[in-house]
C-alpha cells in the first residue's frame, strides 16, 4: 500500500489499469443493459418495471460501497498520512453521491407503479437519503478551506463519523418492518432470484465498479496535475519576489 | 478530574458573564414553537398530534444554532491553542467544553419544553417521556454537534456548512425522541425508544470527544 504513496508510481500503474477498467466497464454495462432491457423475462408480479431494478440495485450497492471506500481512504489518510488516499477519497465522493441519487431516483420511479407512491418514509429510504446528505456535507467541507490540505483532513474525519450510517442502511430492512423488501441477493442459503435475473444484475454491478475505478483514476490524475500546477505557480511567485 | 471541572467552570463563567447566550437559545426555541400554531392553525387535536415532533425539531435547531460558540470564540482569540497545550488529554478538555455547552443550552431547553408542551396541547401522559427523551437526546446533540463545530473552524461560511454536516447526524435522535413521546401518548411503552437513545448517548459520550479532539488538532496544526 505504501508503495503507491508515490504519485509517479500511481500514475504509471493508473496508465496500465485505465484501458482495462474502461473495457470492462463498457463490456459489462453493454451486456448488462442488453440482458436487463431485452434478454431477460418480465417479472410475474412486477411486469416490465422489474427492469428498473437492474439499475436501482447496483446503484444502491455502489452508493454504500463508495462510502465505505471513502471511509477507508480517509482512515488511511489520517493514520498513515498517505498523500494519495486523500485525493482518492475526494475523488470517490461525487461518484458515490451520483450513484446514491440514481438509486433514490430509480427507486421512486419504480415505487410509483408498484407501491403507488413516489416516496415512503421507511427506514431504508430515509437512511439512503441521509447517505446522500452525508456525501453533500463531505463535498462541501472538502472545498470550504483556503488550504486544500486542511479541507482533506477535516473531511476525512467527517467521512469516518458518517460511516455509522452504512450498517444502519444495510440492516435497516431487517431491524425495522419496512415497505422496502429485505435482501434477496446476498443472504444465507444463496440468492432468492432466478439466474436469468441475477446475471444482468451482477453484470451491471461489475460494470459500475469498473466505471468507478476509471473515474477514480481520471480524477486522481487531475488532482495530481492540479497540485503540480499549484506548486509551479507558487515557485514562480517566489522567484518573482526574489528577483525584485 | 480537577482540570475537567476547571474547564467546565471556565466555560460556564464565560457563558454566564457574557450573559445573553443561553437566554437567546431559549428565546429562539420559544419563538419558533409559538410560530407553529399560527402556521398550521390553532385546532387542539392537530397541535397535539404534531407537538412531539415540533418540540424535538425546534430543540434540535436551537441547539445547533448555539454550536458556533463552543469553539469559535476560543479559536479566534487564541485561547483554544492554550487549551490544546495543557497537559490534560485533549479529549477530556473537549468533553468538558461539551458538558458546559449542554448545561447552558440543553438544560434550559429541557426546562422550557414542558411549558411549550402545554401550549401545544400535548397529552399529559407524554410529559415525563418528553423530559426523559430530552435529557437523553440533548447531550447527544451537544456531543455530535461538537464534532461539526470543530471541523468547520476556519472554514468559509462555517455556519451554513455546520448545519449541512450536522443535521443528517441529528436525525436518529429526532426519530427515537419523537418515537418515545408518541408511544407514551398512545399508551404504549416508551422504554425501547428511550433505551436506544441511551445507547446513542453512551456511544457518543465515548466517541464524540475523541473525534472532536482529532478535528481540533487538524484545525490548529
- For A118-167, the DSSP string reads S----HHHHHHHHHHHHHHHHHHHHTS-SSHHHHHHHHHHHHHHHTTHHH
Q: What is the distance between the alpha carbons of residues A53 and A50, in angstroms, rounded to a whole number?
A: 5
pLDDT of residue B139: 94
> What angle do the packed helices A7-37 and A83-115 form, to 10 degrees?
10
A126 Cβ under 8 Å from any chain B Cβ = yes
Q: What is the pLDDT along chain A (244 residues), one digit of tens a residue?
A: 666 677 788 888 888 889 999 999 999 999 888 888 887 777 777 777 788 888 898 999 999 999 999 999 999 998 988 888 888 999 999 999 999 999 999 989 888 888 888 888 888 888 889 999 999 999 999 988 888 888 888 999 999 998 888 888 877 777 776 677 776 666 656 666 777 778 888 899 999 999 999 999 999 899 889 888 988 999 999 999 887 6
Contact (CB<8Å) A154/B169? no
Which residue has 449541512 as its cell numbers?
Answer: B164
Taking only residues 140 to 169 of chain A, the set having a beta carbon closer than 8 angstroms to any beta carbon of chain B reads 140-141, 144-146, 150, 153-154, 157-158, 160-162, 165
Contact (CB<8Å) A154/B147? no
Asked, for residue A9, whether it belongs to a domain, the answer is no
**Which positions in chain A touch B215 (Cβ < 8 Å)?**
154, 157
Asked, for residue A4, whether it belongs to a domain, the answer is no
Asked, for residue A3, whether it belongs to a domain, the answer is no
Q: What is the distance between the alpha carbons of residues B128 and B184, in angstroms, rounded to a whole number?
A: 9
Q: What is the distance between the alpha carbons of residues B45 and A129, in angstroms, rounded to a whole number?
A: 31
pLDDT digits (tens, 9 = 90+) for B162-217: 988 999 999 889 989 999 998 998 888 888 999 999 999 999 999 999 999 999 98
Asked, for residue A97, whether it belongs to a domain, the answer is yes
Burial class (CB in 10 A: 0-12, 13-18, 19+), A143: middle
Contact (CB<8Å) A141/B152? yes
Under DSSP, the state recorded for A194 is -
Give the distance from residue B151's alpha carbon to the nearest chain A alpha carbon, in angstroms: 5
Q: Is the pLDDT of residue B7 over 70?
A: yes
Asked, for residue A175, whether it belongs to a domain, the answer is yes
pLDDT of residue A188: 59
Of A136, A154, A157, Cβ closest to residue B164: A136
Question: B82: which residues sit within 8 A by CB, 6+ positions away?
Answer: none
Selection from A59, A172, A181, A159 nearest residue A126 by Cα: A172
Which residue has 487549551 as its cell numbers?
Answer: B83
- pLDDT averaged over every residue in chain B: 89
Size of interface A-B (CB pairs under 8 A): 59
Q: What is the distance between the alpha carbons of residues B101 and B66, in angstroms, rounded to a whole number?
A: 8
Instruction: State which residues form the domain around A220.
Output: 20-179+193-243
Question: B161: which residues sit within 8 A by CB, 6+ positions away?
Answer: A137, A140, A141, A144, B152, B155
Mean pLDDT of B105-116: 91
Interface test with A, best of B169, B178, B200 (most A CBs within 10 A): B169
Question: Which residues of B touch chain A, with CB atoms under 8 Å apart?
Answer: 147, 151-152, 154-158, 161, 164-165, 167-169, 171, 211, 214-215, 218-219, 221
| Residue B27 C-beta-side C-alpha neighbours within 13 Å | 5
Question: A52: which residues sit within 8 A by CB, 6+ positions away?
Answer: A106, A109, A110
**Residues paired with residue A47 on neighbouring β-strands, in sequence order:** A43
A130 Cβ under 8 Å from any chain B Cβ = yes
Burial class (CB in 10 A: 0-12, 13-18, 19+), A195: exposed
DSSP assignments along B37-102, one per residue: HHHH---HHHHHHHHHHHHHHHHHHHHHHTTHHHHHHHHHHSHHHHHHHSSS-HHHHHHHHHHHHI
Asked, for residue A7, whether it belongs to a domain, the answer is no
Q: Is the pLDDT of residue B60 over 80?
A: yes
Give the distance from residue B166's alpha carbon to the nearest chain A alpha carbon, in angstroms: 9
Q: Is A176 helix (H, G, I), strand (E, B) or coil?
A: coil
Q: What is the distance between the alpha carbons of residues B165 and B174, in angstroms, rounded to a whole number?
A: 16
pLDDT of residue B197: 93
Q: Is the pLDDT of residue B136 over 90?
A: yes
Overall number of domains in chain A = 1
Give the distance from residue B101's alpha carbon to the nearest chain A alpha carbon, in angstroms: 21
C-alpha cell at A147: 488550504
pLDDT of residue B187: 85
Asked, for residue A14, whether it belongs to a domain, the answer is no
Is residue B220 very low, low, confident or very high in pLDDT (cuts 50, 70, 90)? confident
Asked, for residue A88, whether it belongs to a domain, the answer is yes
Give the distance from residue B191's alpha carbon to the nearest chain A alpha carbon, in angstroms: 17
Share of chain B above pLDDT 90, in %: 44
Q: What is the distance between the alpha carbons of residues A21 and A71, in angstroms, rounded to a whole number?
A: 22
Of A126, A144, A161, Cβ closest to residue B155: A144
Q: Is the pLDDT of residue B116 over 70?
A: yes
C-alpha cell at B23: 437566554
pTM: predicted TM-score of the whole model, two decimal places:
0.88
Of residues A212 and B3, more confidence is placed in A212
Q: What is the distance between the alpha carbons of residues A181 and A56, in angstroms, rounded to a whole number?
A: 13
Taking only residues 62 to 121 of chain A, the set having a beta carbon closer than 8 angstroms to any beta carbon of chain B reads 78
Of B156, B164, B218, Cβ closest to residue A153: B218
Amino acid at each position: 500500500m505504501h508503495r503507491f504513496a508515490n504519485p509517479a508510481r500511481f500514475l504509471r500503474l493508473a496508465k496500465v489499469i485505465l484501458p482495462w477498467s474502461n473495457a470492462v466497464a463498457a463490456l459489462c454495462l453493454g451486456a448488462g443493459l442488453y440482458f436487463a432491457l431485452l434478454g431477460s423475462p418480465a417479472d410475474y408480479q412486477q411486469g416490465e418495471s422489474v427492469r428498473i431494478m437492474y439499475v436501482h440495485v447496483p446503484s444502491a450497492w455502489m452508493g454504500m460501497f463508495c462510502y465505505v471506500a471513502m471511509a477507508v481512504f480517509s482512515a488511511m489518510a489520517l493514520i498513515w498520512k498517505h498523500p494519495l488516499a486523500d485525493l482518492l477519497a475526494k475523488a470517490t465522493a461525487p461518484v458515490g453521491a451520483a450513484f446514491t441519487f440514481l438509486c433514490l431516483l430509480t427507486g421512486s420511479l419504480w415505487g410509483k407503479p408498484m407501491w403507488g407512491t413516489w416516496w415512503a418514509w421507511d427506514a431504508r429510504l430515509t437512511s439512503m437519503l441521509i447517505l446522500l446528505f452525508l456525501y453533500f456535507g463531505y463535498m462541501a467541507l472538502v472545498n470550504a478551506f483556503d488550504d486544500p490540505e486542511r479541507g482533506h483532513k477535516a473531511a476525512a474525519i467527517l467521512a469516518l463519523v458518517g460511516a455509522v450510517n452504512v450498517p444502519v442502511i444495510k440492516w435497516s430492512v431487517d431491524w425495522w418492518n419496512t415497505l422496502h423488501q429485505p435482501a434477496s441477493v446476498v443472504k444465507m442459503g444463496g440468492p432468492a432470484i432466478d439466474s436469468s435475473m441475477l446475471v444482468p444484475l451482477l453484470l451491471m454491478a461489475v460494470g459500475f465498479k469498473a466505471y468507478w475505478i476509471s473515474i477514480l483514476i481520471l480524477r486522481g490524475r487531475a488532482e495530481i496535475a492540479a497540485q503540480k500546477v499549484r506548486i509551479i505557480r507558487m515557485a514562480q511567485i517566489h522567484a518573482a519576489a526574489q528577483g525584485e | 478530574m480537577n482540570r475537567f471541572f476547571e474547564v467546565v467552570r471556565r466555560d460556564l463563567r464565560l457563558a454566564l458573564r457574557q450573559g445573553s447566550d443561553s437566554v437567546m437559545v431559549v428565546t429562539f426555541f420559544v419563538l419558533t414553537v409559538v410560530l407553529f400554531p399560527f402556521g398550521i392553525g390553532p385546532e387542539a387535536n392537530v397541535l397535539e398530534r404534531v407537538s412531539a415532533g415540533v418540540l424535538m425539531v425546534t430543540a434540535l435547531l436551537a441547539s445547533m444554532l448555539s454550536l458556533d460558540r463552543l469553539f469559535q470564540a476560543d479559536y479566534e482569540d487564541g485561547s483554544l491553542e492554550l487549551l490544546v497545550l495543557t497537559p490534560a488529554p485533549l479529549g477530556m478538555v473537549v468533553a468538558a467544553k461539551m458538558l458546559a455547552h449542554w448545561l447552558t443550552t440543553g438544560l434550559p431547553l429541557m426546562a422550557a419544553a414542558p411549558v411549550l408542551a402545554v401550549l401545544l396541547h400535548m397529552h399529559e401522559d407524554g410529559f415525563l417521556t418528553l423530559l426523559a427523551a430530552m435529557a437523553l437526546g440533548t447531550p447527544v446533540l451537544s456531543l455530535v454537534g461538537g464534532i461539526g463545530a470543530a471541523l468547520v473552524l476556519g472554514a468559509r461560511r462555517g455556519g451554513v456548512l455546520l448545519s449541512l454536516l450536522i443535521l443528517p447526524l441529528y436525525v436518529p435522535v429526532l426519530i427515537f425522541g419523537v418515537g418515545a413521546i408518541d408511544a407514551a401518548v398512545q399508551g404504549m411503552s416508551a422504554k425501547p425508544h428511550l433505551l436506544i437513545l441511551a445507547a446513542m448517548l453512551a456511544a457518543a459520550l465515548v466517541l464524540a470527544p475523541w473525534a472532536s479532539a482529532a478535528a481540533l488538532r487538524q484545525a490548529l496544526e
